[in-house]
């Protein structure tokens, strides 16, 4: 086990309808001037916007709407303008990972005089400045942003999609599984795969003897595998939505990764897909993950994959290699069962024209330190392997 420091001060309010009674005080403890950040019209259609505005009555609310999936730096720039102009005390983000991610950087940008893209490119700049407190109401179970330090921001001008960290996790996160009843099958699947991938990035890791972490990850894996199809089939199943929502948070609040090396691989490779083609992040991860598993499976890694097969997929066989291969197939089958595309042509990526450029960018995000180090050629091969499902559809 590696040495680590862990501290996470987010105040989680999990369950039904807590916003109606607790949101006002959770926000007002930080001041009267609120930036309300959200995405499109869905929170208006669902009635959530109205509930939030009612809870905030008496406070000065300025709105930033239209934050898109794969949030763009332009939304952050607009947010920066608003928090400065209105002397905002606290940001309230209502939405999924994109809205919360953008809000975190906006919360820092209040205290920065330059272009907030600087803050995305250089985390040191964010750690050197203050950050507004952030309250959020999560409407999509996926990224774990509701209890961590991370954001992913895209810059369409440069085809960059960059992960960035700030000094603070959200101050208060409202997690009401009911608010995810209206999430589409597509986004439910993508979010669940994103959670699965976060677990995978941390589980397959060069740190040794991390049974505490690995055991917890295995439990989270099993819960996601079990409940994601149920949420697809019955969108208003509270227990399914609750397990997925808390899995989202627990998979990436720093706990199960503490003591591990945390050298991620599949996320950087997927971020290039999203940056170049603006595909749904979780769907991209679902395509890449089984191929990545095949790539890294070897004599050196087979024991870990066998553990994965036995403890996550309950595969009973004495032969590690057999268990490992069945586990990888099970991963592919699970992604497919969530009714999302399982190869790149399925998301309309039909030729390899950008693969070399994407691979060269991906490796700059630490792929030489990954569970199994990857070169640009390896990444190109992984993209190419993702062009067909033949290997998994025998």
Q: Which residues bind a copy of itself (CB under 8 A)?
A: 1-16, 18, 208-209, 211-212, 214-223, 226-227, 239, 242-243, 246-247, 250, 255, 258-259, 316
170 or 341: whose CB is closer to a copy of itself?
170
Q: Judged by CB, which is closer to a copy of itself: 234, or 364?
A: 234
Cβ distance to a copy of itself smaller for residue 125 or 222:
222
How far lies 391's CA from each of 29, 30, 65, 388, in Å? 56, 54, 43, 8
Residue pair 217/256 in contact by the 8 Å Cβ criterion:
yes
- Closest separation between CB of residue 18 and a copy of itself, Å? 7
Nearest approach, Cβ of residue 199 and a copy of itself (Å) = 11
Q: Measuring CA to CA, which residue among 229, 327, 345 is closest to residue 287?
A: 345
Q: Which of 269, 58, 19 is nearest to 137 (CA)?
A: 19
Q: How far is the CB of 24 from a copy of itself (least distance, A)?
A: 16
CB of 188 to a copy of itself, least distance (A): 17
- The CB-of-92 to a copy of itself minimum distance in angstroms stands at 18
Report the alpha-carbon angle 6-7-11, nearest 5: 140
Q: Which is nearer to a copy of itself, 208 or 369 (CB)?
A: 208
C-alpha to C-alpha distances, 336 to 47, 54, 287, 341, nearest whole angstrom: 33, 41, 9, 7
Per DSSP, the three-state class of 64 is strand
The least distance separating a copy of itself from the CB of residue 4, rounded to whole angstroms, comes to: 5
Q: Which is nearer to a copy of itself, 1 or 128 (CB)?
A: 1
Helical H runs in 204-265? 211-233, 238-251
Radius of gyration for the alpha carbons in the chain, expressed in angstroms and rounded: 20
Least separation in angstroms between residue 242's CB and a copy of itself is 4
Our CB check for a copy of itself shows the closer of 205 and 218 to be: 218
Q: 71 or 170, CB closer to a copy of itself?
A: 170
- Min dist CB 154 to a copy of itself, Å, is 30
The greatest distance separating any two alpha carbons of the chain, rounded to the nearest whole angstrom, comes to 65
CA dist 215 → 222, 250, 252, 330, 392 (Å): 11, 13, 15, 19, 28
What is the rounded end-to-end Cα distance, in angstroms, of the chain?
40
Burial of 169 (0-12, 13-18, 19+ CB in 10 A): buried
List, in order, residues 6 or more apart from 126 with CB less than 8 Å away: 105, 108, 119, 164, 165, 166, 167
Q: How far apart are alpha carbons 59 and 112 in whole angstroms?
A: 25
Question: Would you say 74 or 214 has its CB closer to a copy of itself?
Answer: 214
- What is the Cα–Cα distance from 354 to 362, expressed in whole angstroms? 12
CB 17, min distance to a copy of itself, A: 9
Cβ distance to a copy of itself smaller for residue 80 or 168: 168
């Amino acid at each position: 086990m590696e040495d680590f420091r862990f501290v996470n001060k987010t105040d989680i309010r999990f369950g039904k309808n807590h916003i109606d009674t607790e949101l006002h005080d959770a926000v007002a403890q930080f001041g009267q001037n609120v930036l309300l950040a959200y995405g499109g019209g869905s929170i208006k259609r669902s009635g959530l916007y109205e509930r939030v505005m009612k809870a905030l009555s008496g406070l000065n609310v300025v709105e930033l709407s239209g934050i898109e999936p794969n949030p763009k730096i332009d939304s952050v720039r607009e947010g920066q303008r608003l928090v400065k102009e209105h002397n905002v005390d606290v940001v309230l983000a209502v939405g999924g990972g994109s809205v919360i991610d953008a809000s975190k950087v906006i919360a820092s940008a209040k205290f920065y005089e330059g272009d907030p893209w600087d803050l995305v490119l250089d985390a040191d700049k964010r750690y050197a400045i203050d950050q507004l407190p952030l309250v959020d109401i999560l409407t999509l179970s996926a990224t774990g942003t509701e209890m961590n330090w991370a954001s992913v921001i895209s810059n369409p001008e440069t085809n960059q999609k960059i992960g960035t960290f700030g000094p603070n996790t959200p101050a208060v996160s409202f997690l009401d599984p009911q608010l995810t009843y209206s999430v589409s099958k597509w986004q439910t699947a993508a979010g669940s795969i994103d959670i699965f991938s976060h677990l995978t990035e941390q589980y397959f890791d060069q740190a040794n003897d991390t049974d505490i972490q690995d055991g917890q990850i295995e439990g989270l894996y099993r819960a996601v595998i079990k409940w994601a199809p149920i949420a697809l089939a019955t969108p208003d199943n509270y227990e399914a939505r609750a397990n997925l929502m808390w899995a989202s948070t627990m998979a990436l609040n720093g706990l199960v990764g503490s003591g591990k090396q945390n050298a991620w691989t599949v996320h950087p490779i997927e971020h290039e897909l999203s940056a170049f083609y603006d595909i749904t992040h979780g769907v991209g991860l679902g395509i890449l993950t089984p191929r990545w598993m095949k790539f890294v499976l070897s004599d050196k890694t087979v024991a870990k994959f066998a553990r994965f097969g036995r403890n996550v997929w309950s595969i009973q066989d004495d032969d590690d290699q057999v268990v490992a291969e069945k586990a990888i197939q099970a991963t592919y089958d699970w992604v497919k069962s969530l009714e999302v595309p399982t190869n790149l042509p399925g998301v309309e990526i039909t030729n390899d024209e950008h693969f070399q450029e994407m691979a060269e960018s991906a490796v700059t995000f630490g792929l030489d330190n990954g569970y199994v180090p990857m070169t640009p050629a390896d990444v190109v091969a992984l993209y190419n392997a993702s062009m067909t499902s033949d290997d998994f559809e025998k």
